[in-house]
């Protein structure tokens, strides 16, 4: 296979912006050039490792604001759900100032809650006095502790417009359409990638058979939400790189299209911070009703920080219509394991531009992080530590654009794999994913047809498994500088520094 050559600056005794190595290796795929800028090696069709730095609140690198308190409440010793909800509803009626209405402050102590708390209005925060000071104690019937978001998905309008390029590479920001005359800078669009029989066959996903019955891998379309940044003739440049390629050979007919959409139904600028959520231990299967911590959907520009969740199951979920989220210093702990073969997930990403930074978990017989069906990146796990025999694993049906950066699982694994007939035909779970300077007990890094997955500078055993339900072992992905970390120490932070400067990196690290 031929690749474009990049010239990298050799660093023998290296010193990156974020750490030092006695012998600083560089990746052949992303490295510093002679000007100190990141250079990317490309595949034959110009696919490349994408710029992941757009993940996070406000598109990455933006400091999470300190929002004034508008209402303070204290524990009553009885069920406090209504008191918290009434305070949120009161603040939700206040006027917006600089995008925020105000914070509801939970004073020290334990708030007993036997039903969910809902935030469904722009610019509202729920803030505790500290995760070791303020606890929301879940009682009563199983429920989700906090639900954030609107209720309606982005509405499409106008006729779909065909993408005319024969091939748009992964990582690109510009592509051509048949007629851009009805489009304007700032338009929100959905880039629609049809799931065709030709593509399913190319991926080998037409052969999933379980108990003598065929399984359906995917149908419909994969949607990527972007904003138009500029238009030149019929060339469209979007705000965030594409996490997957668009290959007309497998997508025509009907072909890839774009369609304008409205995001006015989504809420934005919501924060959850500085408290603990505590559930009674749940020794149950995931088919049973559960206490969950937080669900976010139909929302943009959200953060969750300095939050601990104890003994919740399928704890934190970001829905398909969720974008630009920072999850920082969030810890999920388990004192008991879930029963059964099907495993829960501590963090689930069904949305895009989600950044998990310095998050952690303690528990076994679970997934620490999963993606769901047709998730488009960038999504990033940065400096996260998970303890137990669990896994980070894209879970079902073709997520793209995942970065796992400087994450550590001393007794667990990270899997970029074909799950075959597992679940209900999960098949190829991920493409265009990167593991960067991670350490784990084990890694599975497999190469999907027409795509790539990378493990760069990672320490741990590289394992090889056949596709479940088959004897075929998929080809291995790109393993670069195995068991020897590379510079830059963090790909996400270096990409962010190059795009927005040192202050943006400081904002993420604060």
Tens-binned pLDDT, residue by residue, of the chain (510 aa): 445 545 565 443 333 333 444 456 999 999 999 999 999 999 999 999 999 999 999 999 999 999 999 999 999 999 999 999 999 999 999 999 999 999 999 999 999 999 999 999 999 999 999 999 999 999 999 999 999 998 777 788 899 999 999 999 999 999 999 999 999 999 999 999 999 999 999 999 999 998 888 899 999 999 999 999 999 999 999 999 999 999 999 999 999 999 999 888 899 999 999 999 999 999 999 999 999 999 999 999 999 999 999 999 999 999 999 999 999 999 999 999 999 999 999 999 999 999 999 999 999 999 999 999 999 999 999 999 999 999 999 998 999 999 999 999 999 999 999 999 998 899 999 999 999 999 999 999 999 999 999 999 999 999 998 999 888 899 999 999 999 999 999 999 999 999 999 999 999 998
* pTM confidence score: 0.95
- Token pair for residue 458? 């990672």
Rg (CA), the chain: 23
- How high does pLDDT run on average in the chain? 94
What are the CB-based long-range contacts (under 8 Å, 24+) for 409-412? 409/368, 409/385, 409/438, 409/439, 409/440, 409/441, 410/439, 410/440, 410/441, 411/387, 411/441, 412/368, 412/386, 412/387, 412/388, 412/440, 412/441, 412/442
Which pLDDT belongs to residue 13?
36
Q: How far apart are CA 379 and CA 384, in angstroms?
A: 14
Contacts of 89 (CB under 8 A, 6+ apart): none
Q: How far apart are CA 366 and CA 369, in angstroms?
A: 9
């Amino acid at each position: 296979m031929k690749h474009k050559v990049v010239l990298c600056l050799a660093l023998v005794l290296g010193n990156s912006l974020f750490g030092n190595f006695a012998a600083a290796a560089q990746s052949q795929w992303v490295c510093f050039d002679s000007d100190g800028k990141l250079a990317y090696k490309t595949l034959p069709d110009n696919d490349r490792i994408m710029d992941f730095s757009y993940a996070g609140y406000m598109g990455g690198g933006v400091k999470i604001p300190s929002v004034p308190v508008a209402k303070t409440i204290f524990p009553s010793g009885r069920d406090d759900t209504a008191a918290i909800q009434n305070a949120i509803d009161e603040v939700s009626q206040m006027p917006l100032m600089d995008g925020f209405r105000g914070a509801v402050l939970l004073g020290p102590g334990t708030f007993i809650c036997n039903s969910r708390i809902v935030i469904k209005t722009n610019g509202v925060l729920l803030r505790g006095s500290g995760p070791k000071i303020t606890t929301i104690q879940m009682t009563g019937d199983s429920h989700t502790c906090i639900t954030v978001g609107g209720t309606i998905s982005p509405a499409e309008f106008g006729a779909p417009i065909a993408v005319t390029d024969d091939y748009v590479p992964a990582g690109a920001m510009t592509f051509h359409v048949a007629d851009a005359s009805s489009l304007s800078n700032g338009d929100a669009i959905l880039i629609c990638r049809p799931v065709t029989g030709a593509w399913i066959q190319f991926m080998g996903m037409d052969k999933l058979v379980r108990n003598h019955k065929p399984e359906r891998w995917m149908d419909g379309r994969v949607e990527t939400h972007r904003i138009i940044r500029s238009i030149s003739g019929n060339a469209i440049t979007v705000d965030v790189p594409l996490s997957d390629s668009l290959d007309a050979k497998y997508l025509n007919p009907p072909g890839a299209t774009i369609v304008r959409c409205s995001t006015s139904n989504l809420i934005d600028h919501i924060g959850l911070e500085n408290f603990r959520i505590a559930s009674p231990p749940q020794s149950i299967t995931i088919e049973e009703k559960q206490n969950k911590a937080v669900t976010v959907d139909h929302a943009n520009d959200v953060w969750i920080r300095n939050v601990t969740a104890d003994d919740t199951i399928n704890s934190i979920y970001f829905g398909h219509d969720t974008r630009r989220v920072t999850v920082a210093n969030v810890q999920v702990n388990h004192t008991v394991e879930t029963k059964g073969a099907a495993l829960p997930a501590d963090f689930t990403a069904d949305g895009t531009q989600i950044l998990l930074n310095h998050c952690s978990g303690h528990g076994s017989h679970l997934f620490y992080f999963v993606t769901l069906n047709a998730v488009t990146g960038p999504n990033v796990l940065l400096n996260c530590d998970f303890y137990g025999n669990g896994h980070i694993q894209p879970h079902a049906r073709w997520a793209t654009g995942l970065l796992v950066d400087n994450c550590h699982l001393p007794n667990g694994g990270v899997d970029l794999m074909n799950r075959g007939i597992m679940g209900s035909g999960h098949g190829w779970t991920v493409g265009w994913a990167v593991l960067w300077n991670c350490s784990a007990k084990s890694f599975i890094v497999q190469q999907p047809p027409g795509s790539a997955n990378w493990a760069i500078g990672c320490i741990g055993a590289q394992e090889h498994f056949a596709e479940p339900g088959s004897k075929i072992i998929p080809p291995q992905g790109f393993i670069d500088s195995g068991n020897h970390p590379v510079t830059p120490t963090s790909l996400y932070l270096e990409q962010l520094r190059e795009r927005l400067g040192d202050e943006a990196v400081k904002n993420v690290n604060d």
